[in-house]
Amino acid sequence: MHGSLRAVVLLVFVSILGAACGGGDARDDSGLLRVALLTSGPVSDAGWYAGAYEGLRLIEDSLGARVSHQQTATPAEFDEAFLAYATSGYDLIFAHGNEYQDAAIRAGAQFPDVTIVVSGGGRISDNVAPLIFRLEEGSYLAGMAAAGMSRSGIVGMVGGVAIPPAQGTFRAFEAGARAVDPDIRVLEVFTGDWNDVAAAKEAAVAQLNRGADVIIHNLDAASFAVFQAVREVVASGRTAWAMGMNSDQNAVAPDVIIGSAVIRIPEAFLETARMWQRGEIGGAAIYANTTQEVIDFVFNPALLEQVPPEVVRRVEEAKALVRAGELDVPRVPFVEGEAGVR
């Protein structure tokens, strides 16, 4: 399809989608805040994308905003979606993923009156701000819990794309595990895709076959495959556990998920929208961490009796130290202006 025609078609589609999402005609005189969300995966993943969509709905309900969501898969679609929303009068666009950062900078330069917030982004301009979830604080605590639960002394990590935020969660998980057991073996693999169920299942099975008995993921829809792999090995008679990531996934597989490294994305989105209303976004990154209780590690209440009290106590004590700023959790810097980032 010719580029200009494709953009027009997309614009019409976004307008229709906005109406379906409660957005109606973005060009009106109501004075309502207009907020859009872009995700590169399905909001049915019970994790990263689902949390963003819940955040969009929370903004709609709490602020009376007009909202719209679109799933985009390729860089060309990123550019077209920014164009469509910006020219339709949207004020604030959440681009939920590090992959959007370059397209966001281009769109920000073209539309200076639109504010773009990139979840996990690393680039900054006057109207483009990264929203940095310090998830490594939660995954560090998950690592401590994993080491405390492991009988084999081997734990595993299955990731999607090896972008810096994802790598950071794994470095922190490893550090947390080693804080409990310096000799623990930590297996790691990135499949190259957030949503490839088959690849995630294969990776999880391989780690289980190598002796891992606790596996954490950093995936989107493919996380379900990791949980299923653990379920199957448990059904065979072994003891093994899974861990959730990006949201509280404890109820997704309550029989095997011992706990989750949580981002409370809806609350972070709502506070970011309020910051926009106060004129506080622009020229700097926005950080969300355990101090604000946006980041957390939550044991699965359905399996809490399986967790030794000493493990729970150790994790809770470390959480308090992190929140007080007395425990420095390792992270991978990737935001412009941070030490070590060019």
Three-state DSSP class for 68? strand
When pLDDT is cut at 50, 70 and 90, the band that residue 27 belongs to is very low
Query: What six digits make up the tokens of 280?
Result: 């506080």
Q: Helices (H), strands (E): how many in the chain?
A: 10, 12
Q: pLDDT at position 29, please?
A: 52
Using the predicted structure, report yes or no on whether residue 162 has a pLDDT greater than 70.
yes
Distance CA 109, CA 48 (A): 27
Distance CA 50, CA 9 (A): 26
Q: pLDDT at position 235, please?
A: 98
Using the predicted structure, report yes or no on whether residue 259 has a pLDDT greater than 80.
yes
Residue 25, number of CB atoms within 10 A of its CB: 12
Query: What six digits make up the tokens of 51?
Result: 């949390």
When pLDDT is cut at 50, 70 and 90, the band that residue 22 belongs to is very low
Q: pLDDT at position 180, please?
A: 98
Nearest CA to 253 out of 276, 234, 270, 279 is that of 234
The one-letter amino acid at 171: R
Mean of pLDDT values over 175-197: 98
Using the predicted structure, report yes or no on whether residue 194 has a pLDDT greater than 70.
yes
Using the predicted structure, report yes or no on whether residue 255 has a pLDDT greater than 80.
yes
Confidence (pTM): 0.89
Q: pLDDT at position 341, please?
A: 77
Q: pLDDT at position 342, please?
A: 66
Query: In what helix (H) or strand (E) does residue 10 lie, and over which residues does it extend?
Result: helix 3-20
Higher pLDDT, 16 or 175: 175
The predicted-structure confidence for 115-137, as pLDDT tens digits, reads as follows 999 999 999 999 999 999 999 99
**What domains, with CATH codes, occur in the chain?**
3-133+266-288 (3.40.50.2300), 136-262+308-323 (3.40.50.2300)
Distance CA 115, CA 112 (A): 8
CA angle 194, 199, 205 (to 5 degrees): 120
Residue pair 51/262 in contact by the 8 Å Cβ criterion: no
Share of the chain above pLDDT 70, in %: 91
Q: Is 325 left (phi over 0), alpha (psi -120 to 50) or beta?
A: left
The predicted-structure confidence for 196-215, as pLDDT tens digits, reads as follows 999 999 999 999 999 999 99
Phi, psi of 171 (to 5 degrees): -65, -40
How many angstroms from the chain centroid is the CA of residue 166?
A: 9
DSSP 306: G
Calculate the average pLDDT of the chain. 92
Using the predicted structure, report yes or no on whether residue 23 has a pLDDT greater than 50.
no
Residue 26, number of CB atoms within 10 A of its CB: 21
Query: What six digits make up the tokens of 300?
Result: 């699965």
The predicted-structure confidence for 75-95, as pLDDT tens digits, reads as follows 999 999 999 999 999 999 999
Mean of pLDDT values over 12-30: 43
The predicted-structure confidence for 227-241, as pLDDT tens digits, reads as follows 999 999 999 999 999
Using the predicted structure, report yes or no on whether residue 299 has a pLDDT greater than 90.
yes
Distance CA 246, CA 97 (A): 12
Distance CA 224, CA 236 (A): 19
When pLDDT is cut at 50, 70 and 90, the band that residue 109 belongs to is very high
Using the predicted structure, report yes or no on whether residue 1 has a pLDDT greater than 60.
no
Nearest CA to 35 out of 84, 92, 89, 87 is that of 92
Using the predicted structure, report yes or no on whether residue 16 has a pLDDT greater than 50.
no
Distances in Å between the Cα of 166 and the Cα atoms of 58, 309, 332 are 26, 30, 9
When pLDDT is cut at 50, 70 and 90, the band that residue 31 belongs to is confident
Query: What six digits make up the tokens of 140?
Result: 């560090």
Nearest CA to 197 out of 215, 218, 216, 224 is that of 224
Mean of pLDDT values over 176-183: 98
Higher pLDDT, 104 or 8: 104
When pLDDT is cut at 50, 70 and 90, the band that residue 338 belongs to is confident
